[in-house]
Amino acid sequence: MLIYKQLFAISLLLSLPFCIAAKEINEKDQLICAISETALCRENAGCTEGSVELVNLPLLLRLNLEKKTIKSTRISGETRTSTILAVNTSKNNLILQGVQEGSGWSMTIDKKSGQMSVSSSLDGEGYIAFGVCTRS
């Protein structure tokens, strides 16, 4: 089952440039985002880079920007929902921010390419992830 989820994510990532080219992402869209690279850094312990499983992050994120929610799915099948507290737009990016289980997070999505970066931090540790988003 794990290999099928990974193959789905890879195929999604490969097809995204063709899906996004038509129209810029905006603050009312519903998106699906796949995380491809991650790192976990701990105070006094350095950083660990690797797969989403290695740092216990979700593989897929489903964003409903109009309702300001993010649903995440981990490789294990565990799902979580987070509220987007702020949506800001710049010329080229959407910037989302929120809080979940004591950690603050921020996500930046390029409106044209769908490229995404996410960071999350709490006491003594921080996560960063990179991936790509497209309309769902």
Q: What per-residue confidence (pLDDT) applies to 107?
A: 97
> Cβ distance 133 to 109 under 8 Å?
yes
Q: Which pLDDT value is given to residue 4?
A: 45
d(CA 67, CA 80) in angstroms, rounded, equals 16
pLDDT of residue 19: 47
pTM: 0.81
Residues in the chain predicted with pLDDT less than 50, given as ranges, are 1-4, 6-7, 10, 12, 14, 18-21
Whole-angstrom Cα distance, residue 25 to residue 44?
39
- Residues contacting residue 50 through CB under 8 Å, at least 6 positions apart: 38, 39
- Provide the token pair at 105: 């997070």
Task: State the Cα–Cα distance between residues 73 and 76, nearest whole angstrom.
Answer: 8
* Structural contact between residues 59 and 34, judged by C-beta atoms closer than 8 angstroms: yes
Residue 44: phi and psi, rounded to 5, are 65, 10
Cα atoms in the Cβ-side hemisphere of radius 13 Å centred on 131: 28
* 127, 39 Cβ separation under 8 angstroms: yes
What are the extents of the domains in the chain?
Answer: 2-135
For the domain spanning 2-135, the CATH number is 2.40.128
